[in-house]
Amino acid sequence: MLALAGFAMILTFMVLIMTNRLSAITALLLVPVAFAVLTGFGGQMGPMMLDGIKNIAPTGIMLVFAIMYFGLMTDAGLFDPVINRIQRVAHGDPLKIIVGTALLALLVSLDGDGATTYIIVVTAMLPLYRRLGISPLILTCMNMLVGGVMNILPWGGPTARAMSVLHLDSTQLFNPLIPAMGAGLVWVFFVAWRFGKRERKRLGLEHLNEAKAAKTVVYGLAAGLSQPLPEVPDLEISPEEKALRRPKLLWLNALLTIALMVALVRELLPLPVLFMLAFALAAVLNYPNLSQQRQRFAAHAGNALSVAAMVFAAGIFTGILGGTHMVDAMAQSFVALVPQSLGPHFPVLTGLVSAPLTFFMSNDAFYFGILPFFTKAASAFGISAATMGKASLLGQPVHLLSPLVPSTYLLVGLAGVDIGAHQRFTLKWAGGTVLVMLITSLLLGIISL
C-alpha cells in the first residue's frame, strides 16, 4: 500500500510539473501533503515536514549566498578582462575563437547560472562568429557542453537537489567528482579544438598564422572575397552597468574568489559559512556605501529567493516521503524486481540512465522523484547514498539539451538557431562528455562497477 502510494505521489508530481499544471515549488508542497492526508498520516506530517526542512537548511543557505556572491562579482566586472582579452587574441582565427568560447563559458559559469552564462558568452562571441562565417551551432554547442559539466557545481541546480534529497553535503557529493569534471572539461576543449580545425579548413584558413589572423578575415564566402578585419571593440556595457564596475579592485576580487575556491576544496569551514563570509567581504569591498549595497542585494534577491524557495519546498517533499516510510516500501518493491546479478552495478546503471531520464523529465522530477528510491534500492546491495548521488549527476551534459530546460530556449534564441538543429548537432558530443566522466569515475574509484 505504501509503495503504491509512493509511486503514485511521484507520478503525480512528475505529471503536474511536466505538463505545466503546477510549478515545481507548489507541486513540491501540495502533492506530498495531499498524499500524507490520503494515506492517514495527516496528523503526523508536521514533524516530518520540519525534519525535512532542517535537513536541507544548510544547502538552502549556501545557495542563497553563492548566488549573491557571484552576482556581485559579475556586477564588479570580474569577468570583463577575460572577455576583452579573448576577443582581442582570438579574432580572425576560428580555432582560437571556438576555444576562447569554451574558456569564457567555463569562467562565467562559475556562478552556476546557465542563463547568465549564455547571455554573456553569446553576446561577446556571436559577432566574431558572424564576421568569420563560423556556424552558430558551434557557439551553442560549446556553451552547452561546458554548462553540462559546470552544472555539477554544488550551488548549481542538480547537485543542490541531490544534496537535499539524500541529506548529504558537498564534501561527500561534489568534491569526489572534481577529477571526473576535469576529465569532462578536457573532452570539451578537445571538441572545441576539433571544431576549430574543421572550421579553419571549411573557411579556407587551414594554414592561418597569427599575423594573418590579426589582419585578415573572410567576408562574403560565396563570392570568395577577403577584406581587412576591423578592430574588435571591448565588451560593450550600459552606463548603469559601467557605474557598478570596480576595475581598481579586479585583482582583489580575483584573489578573493580564488581563496574561496581553495577553501571550499580544502573544507576549511562549512560550505554555507564560507559563502556567507565571502559575500560579506565582497559587498563591503566593492560597495561600501550602504545604499549601493541595498541596491545590489535587491538586484540579485529574486534569483536567490526562487532557488532557496525550491530547495526548502523539497524539504517538505523528502520529509514526508521518508517520514511515512513510502521510500522504504518503494525501494523494497524495486529491489524485488532487480535481478541479483545487476544489483551491485546500480551506480553504473544510474550514471547511464541519468542522461536519458533527465532529458525526458526535469531535474525536479528526477532528483526528487526517481533518485530517492533508486538510492534506497541500492542500499540493499551495500551501495552508499553518496555513491548513488555522484552517479546520478553524470548525465547532466545531456539534460541541458532537454526541451524542458528554459535556459536552452534563451541560448538558441540569442544565437538565432533552431532548437532541433541544436539538439541534433550537440547530442553526440554531450553523450561523449557523459561517457568520459563515467569512465573516469570508474577508473578512479569515484563510483564502483
B/e letters for 216-227, b = 16+ CB within 10 Å, e = fewer, are ebbeeeeeeeee
The amino acid present at 2, given as its one-letter code, is L
Query: What is the C-alpha to C-alpha distance for residues 51 and 247, in angstroms, rounded to an integer?
Result: 46
* Residue 120: band (very low, low, confident or very high) from pLDDT cuts 50, 70, 90: confident
| Mean pLDDT, range 117-141, rounded to an integer | 83
List pLDDT tens digits, range 377-418: 788 888 888 899 999 999 999 988 876 676 777 788 778 888
| Mean pLDDT, range 295-323, rounded to an integer | 83
Query: What sign results for the dihedral spanned by CA atoms 186, 188, 189, 190?
Result: positive
Q: Any idea which of 168-172, 310-314, 361-365 has the lowest mean pLDDT? A: 361-365
55, three cell numbers: 535537513
Q: What is the DSSP letter of 228?
A: E
Give me the DSSP letters along 245-306: --GGGHHHHHHHHHHHHHHHHHTSS-HHHHHHHHHHHHHHHH--SHHHHHHHHHHHHHHHHH
Q: Look-up: residue for cell 569512465?
A: 439
pLDDT, residue 334, reads 65
Q: Any idea which of 213-217, 238-242, 361-365 has the lowest mean pLDDT? A: 213-217
Answer yes or no: is pLDDT of 228 > 50.
Answer: no
Higher pLDDT, 112 or 107: 107
- Where helices occur in 91-206 by DSSP H, the ranges are 94-108, 114-132, 136-150, 157-166, 170-173, 178-202
| Mean pLDDT, range 418-425, rounded to an integer | 84
∠ Cα 349 151 30 (to 5°): 80
Among 183-187, 244-248, 332-336, the range with the most confident prediction by mean pLDDT is 183-187
Query: What is the C-alpha to C-alpha distance for residues 89 and 104, in angstroms, rounded to an integer?
Result: 13
Side-chain half-sphere of 362: how many Cα atoms within 13 Å? 22
pLDDT, residue 110, reads 77
Answer yes or no: is pLDDT of 243 > 90.
Answer: no
Of all residues in the chain, the percent with pLDDT exceeding 70 is 85
Query: What sign results for the dihedral spanned by CA atoms 196, 201, 203, 209?
Result: positive
Q: What is the DSSP letter of 383?
A: -
* Residue 14: band (very low, low, confident or very high) from pLDDT cuts 50, 70, 90: confident
Higher pLDDT, 134 or 127: 134
Who's near 311: CB < 8 A, 6+ residues apart?
56, 59, 60, 63, 160, 161, 164
Q: Any idea which of 20-29, 276-285, 360-369 has the lowest mean pLDDT? A: 360-369
Segment holding 225, helix H or strand E: strand 225-228
Query: What is the C-alpha to C-alpha distance for residues 166 and 250, in angstroms, rounded to an integer?
Result: 38
pLDDT, residue 214, reads 39
The amino acid present at 229, given as its one-letter code, is L
B/e letters for 117-143, b = 16+ CB within 10 Å, e = fewer, are bbbbbbebbbebbebbbbbbbbbbbbb
99, three cell numbers: 576555444
Give me the DSSP letters along 57-108: HHHHHHHHHHHHHHHHHHHHTTTHHHHHHHHHHHTT-HHHHHHHHHHHHHHH
342, three cell numbers: 545487476
| Mean pLDDT, range 355-365, rounded to an integer | 77
Q: Look-up: residue for cell 585583482?
A: 251
Query: What is the C-alpha to C-alpha distance for residues 30 and 387, in angstroms, rounded to an integer?
Result: 30
Answer yes or no: is pLDDT of 220 > 60.
Answer: no
Query: What is the C-alpha to C-alpha distance for residues 270 and 265, in angstroms, rounded to an integer?
Result: 11
